[in-house]
Structure 1
Amino acid sequence: MVNDEDRILADALGAAGAMGGGSGGRFGAGLAARYLRKDVHETTLSLGLPLDRAARHAGATLARVGRLLDTTPDPGGPGAGSVLRALVGGGFAGMNPVVVTVTLTPAGPDTTTVAVRGAAKEGLIKQHAGRKTTCLVTDLLSAPGAP
């Protein structure tokens, strides 16, 4: 798993810059992204699901709102939990990339604690994409009718 949110965001912003300005746009956007501050928001919720079902639900939710990057077991060992990460479009017209990390930890046989973290780069105009995307993912995970 690529653990560096800054690198993932710089690469994503560089890709967006390449669409508008070719290789120079990629380089410029990627370079500028290194110096931008991050809007980070974290929240925790509890799901009434066992870990395996909660992980499938979280994976499907992240795949629905963005591009699933990777899934890895928690370093605590088998059954300790899992971490899922996705790149989601946030901000105006979904053009600001947001890295969403979902960490699932068993809290009992039929309960899973879910930590959701969203991080996005912020320019001069604050869009609060990290916070808004974290809240969106949290709402989708805890929506009535969810598995």
Structure 2
Amino acid sequence: MVNDEDRIFADALGAAGAVGGGSGGRFGARLAARYLRKDVHETVLTLELPADRAASHVAATLARVGRLLDAPGPDDSCGSVVRALVGGGFGGMNPVVVTVTLTPADPGTTTASVRGAAKEGLIKQHAGLKTTRLVTDLLTS
């Protein structure tokens, strides 16, 4: 699992910069990513599913809206973590790292902590907040 959100953002923004500016655009976008602030939002919800089915449900949901970075896997003995890169903001062009941490609560329920983080430029799009709300709505519907 790639644990460093900033590295994920640098790679994603660098790939976008390379499309328009080649290797110079990639370098510039990766450099700029270091200095941008993050918009982070976290929420906790309860899924009425056992932990293994909840992990599959979360992975399928994140795969529908973005690109999975990590397959559901054990996170020590407390559950699992699923992470994806989702397009947020205007036109879905702002990369958002969505991390869902699943913890078994009861035999039939699982607690899901949903975290959305996005880099923000001069124009605040609140992509982390909006994407977290979107994923939460999709998981509970």
CA–CA separation in structure 2 for the residues paired with 1:137 and 1:40? 14
The runs of 4+ residues in structure 1 deviating greater than 2 Å are: none
**Displacement, 1:3?**
0.4
5+ residue gaps, structure 2: none
Q: In the aligned structure 2, how far is the partner of 1:130 from the partner of 1:4?
A: 16
Letter in 2 for 1:22: G
Could you report, residue by residue, the CA deviation over 1:49-76 in whole angstroms, capped at 9, with x for unpaired residues?
100111110000000000000133112x
Q: Report the count of equivalent residues.
A: 140
2:30 is matched with which residue?
A: 30
- Which residues in structure 2 correspond to 1:131-146 (within 5 Å)? 131-143=129-141
Indicate yes or no: 2:9 matched with 1:15: no
Quick one: which amino acid aligns to residue 32 of structure 2? A
Counterpart in 2 of 1:119? 117
Alignment RMSD: 0.7
In structure 1, the residue matched to 2:92 is 94
For 1:21, the aligned partner's letter is G
Residue by residue, what CA displacement relative to the aligned partner does 1:57-113 show, whole Å, maximum 9, x if unpaired?
0000000000000133112x2xx3100000000001000000000000000000000
Give per-residue Cα distances to partners, 1:17-55, cap 9 Å, x unaligned.
Answer: 111111100000010000100000000000111001111
Cross-structure match for 1:105 = 103
Q: Distance in 2 between matches of 1:73 and 1:123?
A: 35
Partners of 1:13 and 1:124 lie apart in 2 by 16
SS class of match (1:34): helix
1:60 aligns with 2:60: yes
